[in-house]
């Protein structure tokens, strides 16, 4: 069992820490707001007063934060993770952030005698809770082998993609498809609905058809009613789509469906529903189609 530090206790971070605790690891946690840590502290986690303290407490320290700026905020400065690293330490960033920043950060970590992996998770908090998430990993092979037993406590499929920055690049490539699939699914449901087929029946048929990818299977039903807990809101998804579009421009890879889907995420934000799960792409398209939905019924015009 390992001594671990974990920084960032959003929906996904809390699910991951619970799995690490259930696997018997000792986990010291930090979050900007302590109240999110309370259930984990009750389950056996320990509290750190700073990201540096969490890094000092663990042989392996993890981060799962919102974006590139948030990664920089918890790694830099006298109370940051870098100040708590040293020879023999391993830092694993599970955030979806700029690949360029990831590579630069890995160089800073190496200068301290430590090692870094980027290891984002594919799935939602539900797939993590069920032990069905997959992890992609970028970094040196020896660091990967050291981290593998701990990562396998989070999800059963742990894949080494390549050098530093490659896993977060792969995660961006995966995430753009999530939103594009959601939009295509919404188009099909609305097309059926406007011919007179009940929305519930259209969803049932599509989930039983060949298009029912794992993403469609767990997010498709959200067009019938959104959960109270938001899995992955529009702002977060648009951050990933913008990272994808930036990479596409730099690498000269056209991303037409990504660009169109990104515009509808912008519309969701403008309509005041950007804090909802990105499944509200359905609601945006419904509004454009003259179809009413429960969410938009409560949004001022």
The first and second tokens of residue 189, run together, are: 């449901």
Report the SS3 class of residue 260.
Answer: helix
> Burial letters for 162-187: b for 16+ Cβ neighbours within 10 Å, e otherwise?
eebbbbbbbbbebbbebbbbbbebbe
pLDDT in tens, 179-190: 999 999 999 999
The pTM for the full model equals: 0.89
Give the DSSP H or E segment for 148.
Answer: helix 141-154
108-161: per-residue pLDDT in tens?
999 999 999 999 999 888 889 999 999 999 999 999 999 999 999 999 999 999
Supply the mean pLDDT for the chain.
95
What distance in Å separates the CA atoms of residue 83 and residue 52, rounded to the nearest whole number? 6
CA–CA dist 54, 79 (Å, integer): 10
pLDDT at 214: 87
Among candidate residues 228, 241, 130, the one with its CA nearest the CA of residue 178: 241
Residue 126 CB partners (closer than 8 Å, separation 6+): 218, 231
Instruction: Give residue-wise pLDDT tens across range 210-220.
Output: 999 988 998 99
Of 279, 254, 255, nearest to 265 (Cα)? 279
Going by pLDDT thresholds of 50, 70 and 90, the confidence category of residue 240 is very high
Percent of the chain predicted with pLDDT > 70: 98
Per this entry, what is the length of the chain?
Answer: 301
Instruction: Tell me the CA distances in angstroms from 143 to 20, 37, 101, 237, one per residue in order.
Output: 19, 28, 19, 29
pLDDT of 199 > 50? The answer is yes
Is it the case that residue 301 has pLDDT exceeding 60?
no
Query: Is residue 38 scored above 60 in pLDDT?
Result: yes
CA 171 – CA 41 distance, rounded (Å): 30
Q: Determine the pLDDT at residue 249.
A: 96
Strand partners, 162: 138
Measured CA to CA, the distance from residue 94 to residue 20 in angstroms comes to 14
Q: Are 92 and 61 in contact (CB under 8 A)?
A: yes
Distance CA 173, CA 244 (A): 7
- pLDDT for the residue numbered 9: 96
More confident residue, 225 or 91: 91
pLDDT confidence bin for 298, thresholds 50/70/90: low
Domains and CATH numbers, the chain: 3-162 (3.40.50.720), 169-297 (1.10.1040.10)
Three-class SS state of 6: strand
Structure tokens at 192: 């059926």
Mind giving me the DSSP string for 173-232?
HHHHHHHHHHHHHHHHHHHHHTTT--HHHHHHHHHTSTT--HHHHHHGGGGG---SS-SS
Average pLDDT over residues 76-82: 97
Q: Confirm if 160 and 144 have CB atoms less than 8 A apart.
A: yes
Quote the pLDDT of residue 125: 86
Q: What is the mean pLDDT of the segment spanning 151-179?
A: 96
Q: Please report which confidence band the pLDDT of residue 230 belongs to, taking 50, 70 and 90 as the band edges.
A: confident
Judge whether 285 and 268 are in contact, CB under 8 Å: no
Positive or negative, the Cα torsion across 62, 66, 67, 68? negative
State the pLDDT confidence band at 244, using cuts at 50, 70 and 90: very high
CA atoms within 13 A on the CB side of 295: 25
pLDDT at 300 over 60: no
Do residues 62 and 39 lie in contact, with contact meaning Cβ atoms separated by under 8 Å? no
So what's the pLDDT on residue 299? 60
Residue 56 has pLDDT above 70, yes or no: yes
């Amino acid at each position: 069992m390992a001594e671990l530090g974990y920084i960032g206790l959003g929906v996904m971070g809390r699910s991951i820490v619970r799995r690490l605790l259930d696997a018997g690891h000792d986990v010291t946690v930090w979050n900007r707001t302590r109240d999110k840590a309370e259930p984990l502290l009750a389950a056996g986690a320990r509290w750190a007063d700073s990201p540096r303290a969490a890094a000092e407490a663990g042989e392996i320290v993890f981060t799962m934060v919102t974006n590139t700026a948030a990664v920089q905020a918890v790694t830099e400065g006298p109370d940051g993770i870098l100040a708590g690293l040293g020879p023999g330490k391993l830092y694993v960033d599970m955030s979806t952030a700029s690949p360029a920043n990831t590579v630069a950060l890995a160089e800073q970590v190496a200068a301290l005698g430590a090692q870094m992996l980027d290891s984002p998770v594919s799935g939602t908090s539900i797939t993590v809770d069920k032990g069905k998430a997959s992890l992609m990993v970028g970094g040196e092979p020896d660091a990967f082998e050291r981290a593998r037993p701990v990562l396998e406590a989070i999800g059963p499929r742990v894949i080494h993609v390549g050098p530093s920055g490659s896993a977060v690049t792969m995660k961006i490539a995966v995430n753009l498809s999530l939103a594009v699939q959601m939009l295509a699914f919404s188009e099909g449901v609305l097309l059926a609905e406007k011919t007179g087929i009940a929305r519930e029946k259209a969803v049932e048929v599509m989930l039983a058809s060949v298009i029912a990818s794992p993403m469609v299977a767990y997010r498709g039903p959200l067009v019938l009613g959104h959960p109270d807990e938001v899995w992955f809101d529009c702002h977060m998804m648009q951050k990933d789509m913008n990272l994808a579009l930036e990479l596409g421009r730099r690498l000269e890879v056209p991303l037409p469906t990504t660009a169109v889907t990104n515009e509808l995420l912008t519309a969701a934000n403008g309509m005041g529903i950007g804090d909802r799960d990105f499944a509200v792409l359905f609601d945006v398209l419904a509004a454009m189609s003259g179809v009413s939905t429960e969410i938009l019924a409560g949004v001022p015009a």
